[in-house]
Structure 1
Amino acid sequence: MSKPKKFDRNLIVIGAGSAGLVSAYIAAAVKASVTLVESGPMGGDCLNTGCVPSKALIKCARVARQAREAERFGVRLPEPEIDFPAVMRHVRVSIEAIEPHDSVERYTGLGVDVVQGRAQLVDPWTVRIQLNGGGEQVLTARAIILATGAEPVVPPLPGIDEVRYVTSETLWERFAGLERVPEKFVVLGGGAIGCELAQAFGRLGSNVTLVEMAPRLLPAEDAEVSDAVEEALAAEGITVLTGCKATAFAPGERDGGRVTVSDSSGETELEFDQLLLALGRRPRVTGFGLEELGLLDDGRLHTDDFLRTEFSHILAAGDLVGPYQFTHMASHQAWYAAVNGLFGDLKKFSVDYSLVPRAVFVDPEVAGVGLTEHRASAEGIPYTVTRYDLEDLDRAIVEGAARGFVKVLTVPGKDRILGATIVGENAGELIAEFVVAMKHGLGLNKLLGTIHIYPTMMEANRSVAGGWKRAHAPQGVLRWLERFHRWRRG
């Protein structure tokens, strides 16, 4: 495998999801010759089967929920009628409206050579592309970025291939032709995807059972967050089974099926019309020539702090390498992959993972940044907790959204923020203030001294800062001031 003396491209990017698109954009912006290869729809999972369609569906479900709760606000409405084809039409129209942002035409206009086909590494510098329209193209590049994403996990459990199941990828096409939601809907997996879709389909009329193997939902979050989400789902009629593992599947009458689940008390059989597998996602590594180049270790692609593989000019970004499978993390990594790929022999940058915001779009939303109590305790990091309950927030009260909390971890005796977690209305928006504060070294005293519009949900952030200030008031100074004011009264 000798290195070519000349290259067709400065950079070849394989995969046109978030990581691939941003990598190609950056390369073109600095006037590098770049080819972006994608065999499927532009935009990857996020646009076509992930973030965009799921949030469009969640919006429809939220509207249905709001209609049912309208009487709380003095507005009497009949039980909403769910036109499921119209719901799926909203999902499709949302994708179509965003598609131009990720289109071949846009990226070609930005200076990217977009090739639609299946890419495979022939050697460390050469990529063979089986074109979607027939034929093939072979290109060499000084650097290559792998951005092939991830795919849903389908466990090899007895009978699973005999029942109708969908994943977060196949759900949208399967459900596009349905006249109504499935009556009995079983969701396996209590992570972000499972919780979001379980709540959405419950609000749209399905009888949902959510099964999670771990002792609680959203196991990466603190226990009180898991409790809040489980309480919200149960209040909407969703059956939540935690500490419960699926062991076998069997066909049912008609098109449905049955799943056997077991916990410490024994086995239970659940019937379903539709089964959703939301058991995590694994890197998409097969079929790209990675095995032949010896880049895989036990089926995984490993990279260093600079996103480089064993061949330093071959880099990877996004869900393919993790450690966070977020669209915003894929975009974040893409900058490092592109810059290190193009300029790494002159100057290279290690990826900054110090501040990675996260959100789960259930209702109430969950969002966080930095340390959780669970993680701080596990790592032996000392911390102080300050919490503010949204039941005391004026805007939350008038909105009928007075549930949830803002929790901040700080360095003991100081206002420096180690992490923040929010459960509540628009938590995904509210967390941004803490992200900026932590990024720029602003403590809770700075947040407290910043004017927040009244009445807004954002005031919760200022209130939690006020709570920290009260708990850390200088008692000696206050006692002196009390004597001072008594003396001035005469």
Structure 2
Amino acid sequence: MKRSQWVLLLGFAALVAAFFALGLGQYLSLDALQQSHAALEDFYAEHRWGARAAYFAVYVAVASLSLPGAAVLTLAGGGVFGLGWGLLLVSFASSIGATVSFLAARFVLRDAVQARFGKRLADTNQGVARDGALYLFSLRLIPVVPFFVINLLMGLTALRPWTFYWVSQLGMLAGTAVYVNAGTQLASIQSLRDVASPSILGAFVLLGLFPLAAKAVMNAIQKRKVYARWNSVRPKAFDRNLIVIGGGAGGLVSAFIAAAVKAKVTLVEAQQMGGDCLNFGCVPSKALIRSATLAHQMRHAERYGLHSASHNGDAGQQHFSFKTVMQRVQTVIAAIAPHDSVERYTALGVEVLQGYAKIVNPWTVEIALNGGGTQTLTTRSIVIAAGAQPIVPPLPGLAEVGYVTSDTLWERFAQRDEIPRRLLVLGGGPIGCELAQAFARLGAQVMVVDRAPRLLLREDEDVSALATQALQADGVQVLSGYQTLRCEQVDGEKVLVVVHGGVEQRIAFDELLCAVGRSARLDGYGLEELGIPTDKTVQTNEYLQTIYPNIYAAGDVAGPYQFTHTASHQAWYAAVNALFGDFKMFKADYRVIPRATFIAPEVASVGLNEQDANAQGTAFEVTQYNIDDLDRAVCDSEAQGWVKVLTVPGKDTILGVTIVGSHAAELLAEYVLAMKHGLGLNKILNTIHTYPTFSEANKYAAGEWKRAHQPERLLAWVRRFHAWRRG
């Protein structure tokens, strides 16, 4: 806390202490007011403006310091000045005093509260930014809520002071008028309960609920307007509680949840159950990476005291069948496929239909079945989980020379006896880097071409540099900052024409892999006909609703993250809101989203990295532990990489973590848990980690932070203490 904050806090505390120490509260009681009523009226008759000014100043002070007696002062306003002047003075004095209290709380406490609980208060801050005036107005209309509590809590939010002032003045006006009017009959009041009777308090409670009720009515009107052109086709009864479009991670989880709570749910998938992750993405790529890693270890077995595969001068020979490697990939997919199969989900209570779904109105889905014919179903709610597909750049000549994507390469390469001799990878993001390194380790000559200035552009520069070094060490040629112009085929040879530094270059290749990103699947689902806005993804609110409150989107089709685990995460919100939204809605929580790139060494991140924090203007400290010092990493000959933790300056609160090294994605889980539940580095440091494991890197990173924040002055006194003990 800053010095000025301490001065203000101590000043307020001193004034409050003086109020009670001097017994000033006795003058703000109903009895004292009634006894001095005549004298106050006489003083007012002789000094009208002086009395008004003095009363106004006292009221502002009492309201600012949240002292008891504001109700009696309000009665005094009516008893001495009458309804007109009393209402005017009290209205402005109470609002000004409340605003002073609001600003004091903001100045002294808000930064500390937001720094400590900012992530937990994110939803509250958003709600105040959107509807703060409405909430404040409702609270001001209900006098049973202590006004000093409202002043304090609102001061901790981002509500603008001017908004707080005018809403307070307007919201407190009705209650003020009741008390000032009662004060005009001061002699007949026996206690404050005569003013704040249960019937009056009940009326104010109902009045306070009116703005919220009005908002609900406006939402209902807006909802009715959205559905206006469809009201004539709204079913009186529904075939299903929920229809889910898409059998990938988002769709499977949505359907699973619906079946678990005994809703009648239909899942529609046009192609393969399990979606992109199982069939084209996470599963096959990791299976390929595992084989490539083992081939790399065999080739460099001398690191482990063994003879390598290149022993006796046969370094150029391939000691495995590429076709067998690709068959293993399909075996892995087949082994995992039952987890996502039609049979499993049917057994769970989900109706699975194989076909193409189109939403014809907000409650009706038409399914063109793969086996022929169509089926039309009505439903209360719909979840769109259609996933994403590889982006194919509009590169002249690309179609003529041929290409594969991260979706199609598995089928294209499945029957090849030999690995592509020269593989050109377009794109230096996670997919491009993973596949480039894997194919290079399996013996292909791989070149990565990317228009971005460096690989893994979303990560910090030191991460990109290490990733580039790792790929180059495996024989990958990395060309960053190259602009592609066109593809050509000359004398049977395929060529990519690029430009770099103003110089045109030609790159020959045998196979080209497009890995420049993925785009949401938006066509063919009836979105345009329904008027559902799309801009690269289906536009949704924080509850994952489209413009139609009963139609939701989850996963890659909704964004903003294209991760399988995020799709599953969103699916919970979409399904629960779709089924139980009439009772309770849940906002999708994106506060802690991890990500990983499975190159060697792995790259895993959560929260902010340095470039994110700098771009956002977020203050941070960096703590880094280098894994080359970790015992287990040395044992495994994996002594490279680091754990980098960003924290709030001077605190152990974690803002983000980037881990580079073996098992980085697994190591990250501890930080994801810590950030999710508000645990700091001290908690990680105090947790026992098994020795020798890679997970100790997390503890040692926390130890680095602790050493950098040692209480030097205290330790100096401790040193003197020990010296004294030694005599």
Confirm or deny a common fold (TM above 0.5): yes
Q: In the TM superposition, what whole-angstrom CA distance separates every residue of 1:264-287 from its partner, at most 9, and x where no partner exists?
A: 242211111000000000010101
1:13 aligns to 2:244 (yes or no): yes
Partner of 1:211 in structure 2?
449
Larger RCO of the pair (alpha carbons < 8 Å, separation 6+):
1
Partner of 2:533 in structure 1?
296
Q: Is the 8 A contact 1:14 1:20 kept in 2?
A: yes
1:63 aligns to 2:294 (yes or no): yes
Q: Distance in 1 between matches of 2:534 and 2:267?
A: 26
Give SS of 1:292's match: helix
Report the identity percentage. 59
Q: Is the 8 A contact 2:519 2:536 kept in 1?
A: no
Partner of 1:180 in structure 2?
418
Partner of 2:509 in structure 1?
272
Task: After TM superposition, list the pairs within 5 Å mapping 1:100-119 onto structure 2.
Answer: 100-119=338-357
Partner of 1:440 in structure 2?
677
Q: Distance in 1 between matches of 2:540 and 2:500?
A: 38
Runs of 4+ in 1 over 3 A off after TM superposition: 296-300
Give SS of 1:366's match: strand
- What displacement does 1:157 show? 1.6
Q: Distance in 2 between matches of 1:77 and 1:387?
A: 34
- Residue-pair matches, total: 489
Q: Is the 8 A contact 1:195 1:362 kept in 2?
A: yes
The code of the aligned residue for 1:175 comes to F
Q: Distance in 1 between matches of 2:536 and 2:292?
A: 38
Q: Distance in 1 between matches of 2:405 and 2:650?
A: 47
Give SS of 2:682's match: helix
Q: Distance in 1 between matches of 2:298 and 2:536?
A: 48
Indicate the larger mover: 474-483 or 74-83. 74-83
Q: In the TM superposition, what whole-angstrom CA distance separates every residue of 1:232-279 from its partner, at most 9, and x where no partner exists?
A: 11111110011112111112444x511111222422111110000000
Task: After TM superposition, list the pairs within 5 Å mapping 1:71-470 onto structure 2.
Answer: 71-79=302-310, 81-254=319-492, 257-298=494-535, 300-470=537-707
Q: Is the 8 A contact 2:537 2:559 kept in 1?
A: no
Q: Distance in 1 between matches of 2:329 and 2:711?
A: 55
Structure 2 spans left out of the alignment, 5+ residues: 1-229, 311-317
Q: Is the 8 A contact 2:485 2:498 kept in 1?
A: yes
Q: In the TM superposition, what whole-angstrom CA distance separates every residue of 1:337-393 from its partner, at most 9, and x where no partner exists?
A: 001111112211110000001100000000011111110110011100000011111
Q: 1:471 aligns with which of 704, 708, 712?
A: 708
Q: Is the 8 A contact 1:23 1:334 kept in 2?
A: yes
Q: Which has the larger radius of gyration?
A: 2
Structure 1 spans left out of the alignment, 5+ residues: none
Q: Is the 8 A contact 2:604 2:665 kept in 1?
A: yes
Higher helix share: 2
Q: Is the 8 A contact 1:384 1:410 kept in 2?
A: yes
1:53 aligns to 2:290 (yes or no): no
When residues 54 and 433 of structure 1 are mapped into structure 2, their CA distance, relative to the original with a 3 A threshold, is: same
1:29 aligns to 2:260 (yes or no): yes
Q: In the TM superposition, what whole-angstrom CA distance separates every residue of 1:3-36 from its partner, at most 9, and x where no partner exists?
A: 2111100000000000000000000001100000
Higher strand share: 1
Q: CA RMSD in A?
A: 1.0
The code of the aligned residue for 1:120 comes to K
Indicate the larger mover: 299-308 or 30-39. 299-308
Q: Is the 8 A contact 2:455 2:480 kept in 1?
A: yes
Q: Distance in 2 between matches of 1:190 and 1:300?
A: 22
Q: Distance in 2 between matches of 1:21 and 1:74?
A: 46
Q: Is the 8 A contact 1:164 1:257 kept in 2?
A: no
Q: 2:273 aligns with which of 42, 53, 57?
A: 42
Indicate the larger mover: 435-444 or 181-190. 435-444
The code of the aligned residue for 1:67 comes to M
When residues 423 and 273 of structure 1 are mapped into structure 2, their CA distance, relative to the original with a 3 A threshold, is: same
The code of the aligned residue for 2:266 comes to T
- What displacement does 1:298 show? 5.0
Indicate the larger mover: 160-169 or 193-202. 160-169
Q: Is the 8 A contact 2:450 2:479 kept in 1?
A: yes
- What displacement does 1:299 show? 5.8
Query: What TM-score comes out, normalization by structure 2 length?
Result: 0.67
